[in-house]
Structure 1
Amino acid sequence: MENNQIITLPHLTNEMVVSARKTKLCAYAVAIEGWRRGLTLKWYTIDSGKFDNMITFGVNPPGRLFSLSSKERTHYFFRTRGDKVSNEAVEVGADKDETKIYLSKAGVPVPQGDKFGADATDEEIIKYTNSLEYPVVLKPTNGSLGNGVITNIKGEKTLRKALAYVRSDLGYREVIVERFFPGEEYRVYVIEDQVIAAYNRLPANITGDGVHTVEELIELKNQQRRKNARLFSCLIEVDQETHEFVETAGYSMDSVPRKGEKILLHEKTNVSAGGDPIDVTDKLAPEIKQIAINAVKAIPGLYHGGVDIIIDHSKPVEKSAVVIELNPTAQIGGILFPIKGKARDIPSAIIDYYFPETKEIGKEKPNIYFDFNTVLEPLQNRSAVEVEVAPAHVGKLYAKKYIVSGAVKRVRYYEWIKKEALDRQLNGYINNLMSGEIEVVIAGADKDVVNNFKDIFSERPDLGEVKKVKEEVYRSPVKIGFEISEGFKTTSLRSVEATLRKMEKEKRRIEKEMNRMTKEVNKIKQSRSWKMTFFLRNISNFLKKAF
């Protein structure tokens, strides 16, 4: 396995975003940044009526729509897109052909191609495509997440199959055909005149180590992805396409690739399809960054968003790139939790843009967060259409972890500790340890109150005897409120994860064995002896039924 160095954002950890997956992660990251700066945060359902004038593509599950308010104003957000971005800009971004028209007029490089409406016949599309130079790309005008995009089509026969799949099977009647531009794909996030982040999106891949098989390398890569808050639910799936890519590289799933050899497993570069997000913000050429900035400026009313660019590094930099797509509501999880490189703080840049007066407050990020599932529960069960999150502590947060030894009446003692903490406006939790000791984490704005909390533990001898209290500075995120954890929480989670990994491994072993046995059975059925004994087997079966 590759030893990839990753620099994460200390104020946005895996632990904090455990309940925010996929597009909820994007919304949560932006929302919590504003909330920490003292802005009022509210979450909504689509039925709240607050977003009637904002295109949200009919989004229904809670956790994507929110507002942030200062004393002067309120801004509404759909995931990473704020209300400064106009609906007209969103509509242009949703139509790939319309996007190309605007970009071309502004002098932004785009691939050569044309759009075909729902009424166009496959023969019309094929005739036009044959006038271009193969290979080509076929994609729907309004697809997302790479759905329906077929790249590197090298001839008419393959094009016909692709048209049948995209237009008939997937139902995307309106399509675009473009010249295939070779190179690597990048997502660049722009806010007005500044590139905030850029990452290379590589298709799902593995790198040989000379020891493990292809199948084992995929599992090792998935283990790495399970530890990543964005990639946790975007594992590499072994399907027919995977087998084809492995065979093209000259291997099978049981082969051991040479050390250092990289094998592609899928064609799509999307993170959701197992792709790797690799930070390149500091490496991207200024000329490429300017293309991304020009692309955003080319769309009226689009002040920030993601720009997808393909770069052919074999060409001179001024001719090496084309813009293939704009994303007014871009996902940012890949750069918040890259598989290699440095995480980039897009949420801070977005809040700076909408609430510039909070920039100084944003430099001092308190390591505090709220439980997303708890906040969204009234929206999930439809008992409310909007929910306001309790205000966050603004400014420096002091935190300590205390390990308490002794014999106490746990239920009553824990409740008493919780009351004492809340009375002092402290956040944290109390938890059992496998050693029999008690772990207590306390965090608050007043350093003396936090430090003096250790004196509280021995104040109730009627609830038990405290023999010793150890203390240390606590630097991990602290959830707002005070929680009494049930059981041995940390150990149990690790145990569950280990059990799941064992079950997945056993499942793969059984599937592999079933495939082997199926092949053996088919081989026997095709053998000469099996065919010659066909009559005898039928007689035997008849006699068994008769007697």
Structure 2
Amino acid sequence: MVENRTSALKKIEKEEADFESREGLKSKLLEEAAYRRGYKAERLGFDTMILTLHGKELLFRDMNGPLSSAAMMRIVDDKYRARQLIKRQGVTVPESTYLRIYERDEIKAFAHKVGYPVVLKPNDLSRGEGVYTNIASDEELDEHLDKIAGLIGSEFSKILIEKQFNGDDYRFFVVDGKVLAASKRSRANVTGDGEHTVLELIEEKNRLRKQNRDLKEFLIPTDKDKLERLYREGRTLETVPEKGEYIVIRDESNIASGGDGIDYTDTAHEAFKEIAVKAIQSIPGFHYGGVDIITNDITLDPKAGDYVVTEVEFSPGPMSMFHWKGEQRDMANPVLDFYLKNLDKL
């Protein structure tokens, strides 16, 4: 009896912790928005619940409800297939191909065709897991293919290999044909003060990240194996940067890798917002989601070759609600408004 009670308490504690994890956070944010507006929410799991809107029960996972189908998720999560649909709408995507890990000769032939550097991406992983950038030679290509095979556990899995497009990474959040947030995803970084080491600056920044409801789950790593860019550029954790010196620590630009979200909603050029909307609408029935765009200046009217849309996101993280810098942009209430507007279709 005591063991069963202890087990039950541990289960409850785990569920409560899960609610505050980033995966559960998206669901929790939508639940909180519904409660504030007087709607009933019945929690089924850490990321799943039933919202009752004007007498209709709607099942949600994270912020995705009945108008976000499983078929849509399958296509959107398949980066290669989604890109083909986006490209059909005249939106620029990276030059890429889709091959199995063991097809080394074909992968290298593609790299030679488009020219190094290239990027490797597992087709259906998230949070930047297994993504390797700045691959500049056949030897580096083999090395990183081995790493991905070890991560996935098989050389038969397919991966994307694409021509690297250099620039800053931006995430757009689109609902019902309108951009509601545009955020720069800055790579993990610190700014020197002339006194403290890179390690000490990281530790101080992580202390501040722990105070953010979202970023607390994604601290900047201090493991040397995860700081390739820092060491590649001739620095170490013991380096003392000059005052005001901006140090980029990692190549990956997502929040899960220790990056920062910076608000660009009001300054992003309208043409980029139109591109983001077009990318979402390229997937039949896709009403809301995230769009990732790489460009050098999001504030200027894009010309040919100025940008690429790297992917669309079925269930984007709540970065815009927890920007490191700039205005916080709501995601939960716009999703709720979308379902209230379309109740007659459900």
TM-score (norm 2): 0.87
SS in 1 for 2:216: coil
Give the aligned CA root-mean-square deviation in angstroms. 2.2
Q: Does 1:121 align with 2:107?
A: no
Q: Which residue of 2 aligns with 1:206?
A: 190
Residues in 2 aligned to 1:19 and 1:169: alpha-carbon distance in whole angstroms: 27
Q: Does 1:66 align with 2:83?
A: no
Shift of 1:244: 4.2
Summarize deviations over 1:125-155 as a string: whole Å, max 9, x none: 2122211121111111111111111112112
Tell me which of 307, 324, 346 is aligned to 2:310: 324
Q: Does 1:92 align with 2:78?
A: no
Residues in 2 aligned to 1:341 and 1:189: alpha-carbon distance in whole angstroms: 16
The correspondence of residues 80-479 of structure 1 with structure 2, limited to 5 A, is: 80-117=63-100, 121-171=103-153, 173-241=157-225, 244-313=228-297, 317-319=302-304, 320-332=306-318, 334-356=319-341
Q: RCO (CA 8 Å, sep 6+): is it higher in 1 or 2? A: 2
SS in 2 for 1:182: coil
Amino acid aligned to 2:266: D
- Tell me if structure 1 keeps the 8 A contact 2:170–2:183: yes
- Tell me if structure 2 keeps the 8 A contact 1:210–1:259: yes
- Tell me if structure 1 keeps the 8 A contact 2:19–2:46: no
Residues in 2 aligned to 1:252 and 1:71: alpha-carbon distance in whole angstroms: 58
Return 319-328 or 160-169, whichever deviates more.
Answer: 160-169
Aligned residues: 323
SS in 1 for 2:241: coil
Amino acid aligned to 2:97: D
SS in 1 for 2:60: strand
Residues in 2 aligned to 1:151 and 1:18: alpha-carbon distance in whole angstroms: 31
Pair 35,271 (structure 1): closer, same or farther in 2 beyond 3 Å: same
SS in 1 for 2:120: strand
Pair 356,36 (structure 1): closer, same or farther in 2 beyond 3 Å: farther
Q: Could you tell me the percent identity over the aligned residues?
A: 32
- Tell me if structure 2 keeps the 8 A contact 1:88–1:301: no
Pair 161,65 (structure 1): closer, same or farther in 2 beyond 3 Å: same
- Tell me if structure 2 keeps the 8 A contact 1:113–1:177: yes
Residues in 2 aligned to 1:208 and 1:242: alpha-carbon distance in whole angstroms: 20
Residues in 2 aligned to 1:252 and 1:329: alpha-carbon distance in whole angstroms: 36
Residues in 2 aligned to 1:125 and 1:168: alpha-carbon distance in whole angstroms: 18
Residues in 1 aligned to 2:171 and 2:68: alpha-carbon distance in whole angstroms: 19
- Tell me if structure 1 keeps the 8 A contact 2:193–2:242: yes
Pair 277,164 (structure 1): closer, same or farther in 2 beyond 3 Å: same
Shift of 1:95: 0.6
- Tell me if structure 1 keeps the 8 A contact 2:116–2:135: yes
- Tell me if structure 2 keeps the 8 A contact 1:39–1:68: yes
Residues in 2 aligned to 1:321 and 1:261: alpha-carbon distance in whole angstroms: 28
TM-score (norm 1): 0.56
Residues in 2 aligned to 1:135 and 1:168: alpha-carbon distance in whole angstroms: 22
Residues in 1 aligned to 2:60 and 2:252: alpha-carbon distance in whole angstroms: 29
Residues in 2 aligned to 1:136 and 1:250: alpha-carbon distance in whole angstroms: 22
Shift of 1:261: 1.0
Residues in 2 aligned to 1:18 and 1:225: alpha-carbon distance in whole angstroms: 19
Amino acid aligned to 2:95: Q
Shift of 1:74: 2.3
Pair 18,99 (structure 1): closer, same or farther in 2 beyond 3 Å: closer
Rg larger in 1 or in 2?
1
Shift of 1:245: 3.2
Unaligned runs of 5+ in 2: 1-16
Pair 81,169 (structure 1): closer, same or farther in 2 beyond 3 Å: closer
- Tell me if structure 2 keeps the 8 A contact 1:183–1:312: yes
Unaligned runs of 5+ in 1: 1-16, 45-61, 359-547
Residues in 1 aligned to 2:232 and 2:124: alpha-carbon distance in whole angstroms: 32
